[in-house]
Amino acid sequence: MCGIVGYVGGRDALPILLDGLSRLEYRGYDSAGVAIIDDTGRLAVRKAAGKLSALRDILAADAPGGRHGIGHTRWATHGAPTTPNAHPHTAADGRIAVIHNGIFENHAVVKARLVGAGHAFASETDTEVLAHLVAEAAMSPTANESNGSHGSNGTVDGWISGDADTRRARFASALRAALAQVEGAYAIAALTPDAPGLIVAARKFSPLVVGLGDGENFLASDIPALLPYTRRILIVEDGEVVELTADGVRLSTLDGTTVERAPMIIDWSIEAAERGGYRHFVRKEIDEQPRALVDTLRGRIAGGRAVLPELDALDLGAVQRVTIVACGSSAYAGLVGARLLERWAKLPTDVAIASEYRYGDALVGPGTLVIGITQSGETADTLAALRRAKAAGAPTLALCNIVGSSVTRLVDATLFLQVGPEIGVVATKTFTAQLALLTLVSVALATKCGALDGVAGASILADLAAIPDAIRAALAVEPAVEALVDALDITDVRSMFFIGRGFGYPVALEGALKLKEISYIHAEGYPAGELKHGPIAMLDPAIPVLAIATPSPVHDKVLSNIEEVRARGARTIVLAAPGDAASAAVADHLLTMPTVREELSPMVDVIAVQLLSYHAAVARGCDVDQPRNLAKSVTVE
């Protein structure tokens, strides 16, 4: 989940690396560092624990100059977030630097062998193992035929010899040899002053992209880091190595076979990834939802039909059941999708947490459509679940926001969210876009199998097309939310419950997750009827309860559950339709939401819980865009 950048060309590398890291800091912000081949030909490494600003402070007083470097921002997996554990990691008397996103699962075994051979380690990380393996391979007779000598712990005498092209080739070979000894997921980049003007990088499961320039080339773990410099992007696939120089890029497999691939052209602007005057990306992205949904739906509704040509790659007529695999907010979107598919398409549908599905005993085959939902397209558990489904012969469909991401190259068909970059770590506009796509898929499947006639389908789609305006109206609840945060004295709230029934239950789960993610208030989401089966024992005046009581066939049941909450002295916050006197009568705080079709209500009702979580986080002084311990794209298991 870390951020990787690299540059080789004619410009000063440091400003480009820092700019790229700032655009990737949402991927990890426990520590940061850079490694630059300075103007004297030496490897200069600077790193610091904490956010990127801590590294900038160091560089303000001691900034290496050079036109060739790599940078990293870390989300800790192995080892605490300290300066020694920050990347880059070095070996061979500081003559090689490596950065890494992912996990080397066999690092302990490899490290024990290296320590036994005399290698000294400076960190607790799995990444440093790779640095020593590269050094070991580079100094072996197969990689370096010089007569120089070296010690077993990576000390250097001869190091890599030969002319510049030979040394570059030998360094790339050393990286391949090192990667052959590690197991797990990785996106890595490495450099040494002894292979001048070269960055070698590789990828397995974790994302990596190359930006193509004129007399310069770039590397990153995500496209936004590259957009100020180029829109010509080359996707590095699993099991590939890329060698970057200022003059060109060579892509190859791990065994050295050259790979030819045309670059893709990115058509969205870097301005779409900027805050645009907002204090936080999260708040901006909440406001962007009406426009984002218009983009999601554009061209996908015509003549009262769902227009999804991507589904032509699937034999929908053979689908007998559906499994949705996802994590976090995407899984809660999947719960809504399951209800839609069962209600309209009459297809049995289950939702599986991807990290459980991949290790479970799920029965899946050609008759099961497996839908993977992942905003980044790089979620490790969801990718693994989809690989398992494909291996069993199941047709696979992805809902994803990132063109060129791993999931798009894995599945049989992909529906893109089309909402532009979402920079805030927590899902906002991608969640509502996922709900919109699930609605379209459900109508398409229901129409295909004859469970929904054309008139009914057209009615649903017309209501869906009106949802952006309903969300615009829902955003007007913000003043009431701000007043609620003040009334609750949110800085003293330590726990909160969210409850709902039917389509309100996934909203309750998402609301609880949002509050936990960005305000650090403990929260739980429950089906409203489940309170009396245990959780109600927790309730007292110190625990507020938010209930989703917008119109539904079980509205009266929800009101009864709210009465149970009130009887225990807990404060009630109720989401209800305008003019709903019954809901107002049981609410200590009422949040009025626009009325829409019940099946589409999660897209509107979630706005209130997004705003509540945001303003709670701001009031508590939390880092809204970069919550502690979280990263945007979970690319490790």
Euclidean distance between the first and final Cα of the chain, in Å? 10
Report the DSSP pairing between strands 321-326 and 368-373.
parallel
From the candidates 2, 327, 400, 622, give the one annotated as an active-site residue.
Answer: 2
Annotated active-site residue 2? The verdict is yes
Helix, coil or strand: residue 97: strand
DSSP 286-340: HHTHHHHHHHHHTTSEETTEE--GGGGGS-GGG--EEEEEE-HHHHHHHHHHHHH
Two tokens at 38? Answer: 């300075």
For residue 593, the Cα-to-chain-centroid distance in whole angstroms is 30
507 within 8 A of 602, measured Cβ to Cβ: yes
- Over its C-alpha atoms, the chain yields an Rg (Å, rounded) of 26
State the Cα–Cα distance between residues 130 and 98, nearest whole angstrom. 8
Burial class of residue 606, CB neighbours in 10 A (0-12, 13-18, 19+): buried
State the Cα–Cα distance between residues 392 and 82, nearest whole angstrom. 43
State the Cα–Cα distance between residues 74 and 87, nearest whole angstrom. 7
Annotated active-site residue 632? The verdict is yes
How many helices (H) does the chain have, and how many strands (E)?
Answer: 19, 26
DSSP state of 535: G
Burial class of residue 169, CB neighbours in 10 A (0-12, 13-18, 19+): middle
Show Cβ contacts of residue 319 under 8 Å, excluding neighbours closer than 6 positions: 347, 367, 368, 369, 395, 445, 449
Residue 475 phi, psi (nearest 5): -65, -20
Two tokens at 95? Answer: 């003559």
220 within 8 A of 6, measured Cβ to Cβ: yes
Among candidate residues 252, 259, 225, 230, the one with its CA nearest the CA of residue 70: 225
DSSP 183-214: -EEEEEEEE-TTSTT-EEEEEEBS--EEEE-S
439 within 8 A of 601, measured Cβ to Cβ: no
Show Cβ contacts of residue 233 under 8 Å, excluding neighbours closer than 6 positions: 209, 210, 211, 212, 223, 226, 263, 264, 265, 266, 404
Among candidate residues 314, 329, 392, 333, the one with its CA nearest the CA of residue 357: 392
**Residues identified as active-site:** 2, 632
